[in-house]
C-alpha cells in the first residue's frame, strides 16, 4: 500500500463551455492544490490497467486572483476506484467520484461518459 501527500501551484487555462458569455467561457484557473492518495493496487509491466486493489484520492484546490485566476474559488474532489481481477487476464474496474465547487467562479467538474457526450453535442 502506498500513501502519498502532495501540494503544488497550478497554472491552468481552459474552456468552460457551460458558461453563458464568451468572456466567462475562456477561463484562467491559477492557484494552489493539496491532496492525499492511497493506492493498494498491483501494477504489472504488460497490463493496461491496475489490478487487485483500490485507489482513493482527496484533493482540495484554491484558485486565487493573487495568482492571476479570474475568480476566487474552491474545488474539492473525492475519488474511489476498485479493481477486481477475473480469470484469463480480465479486470473489473469500478469508480465512485464526488466533486464540489464554491466561491465567485464555481467550476463545472465533469467525470467520464457524460463529459464526452456533452463535448460531442457541442461540436455537431
Enumerate the domain spans of the chain. 2-122
Return the pLDDT at 18: 60
Q: How many other CB atoms sit within 10 Å of the CB of residue 63?
A: 28
Where do the DSSP E strands lie in 64-115?
73-86, 90-103
Mean pLDDT, the chain, rounded, equals: 78
Beta bridge partners of 27: 14
pTM of the model: 0.71
C-alpha cell at 40: 493498494
- Polymer length of the chain: 124
* Three-class DSSP category at 41: coil
Model pLDDT for residues 36-95, shown as the tens digit of each residue = 999 998 877 777 777 889 999 999 998 888 887 878 889 899 999 898 888 877 888 888
d(Cα 38, Cα 49) in Å, to the nearest integer?
Answer: 17
Amino acid at each position: 500500500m502506498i500513501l502519498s501527500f502532495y501540494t503544488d501551484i497550478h497554472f491552468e487555462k481552459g474552456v468552460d463551455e457551460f458558461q453563458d458569455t464568451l468572456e466567462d467561457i475562456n477561463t484562467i484557473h491559477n492557484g494552489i492544490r493539496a491532496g492525499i492518495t492511497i493506492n493498494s493496487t498491483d501494477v504489472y509491466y504488460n497490463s493496461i490497467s491496475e489490478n487487485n486493489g483500490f485507489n482513493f484520492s482527496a484533493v482540495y484546490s484554491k484558485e486565487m486572483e493573487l495568482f492571476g485566476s479570474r475568480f476566487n474559488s474552491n474545488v474539492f474532489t473525492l475519488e474511489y476506484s476498485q479493481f477486481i481481477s477475473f480469470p484469463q487476464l480480465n479486470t473489473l474496474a469500478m469508480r465512485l467520484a464526488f466533486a464540489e465547487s464554491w466561491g465567485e467562479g464555481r467550476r463545472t467538474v465533469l467525470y467520464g461518459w457524460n463529459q464526452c457526450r456533452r463535448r460531442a453535442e457541442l461540436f455537431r
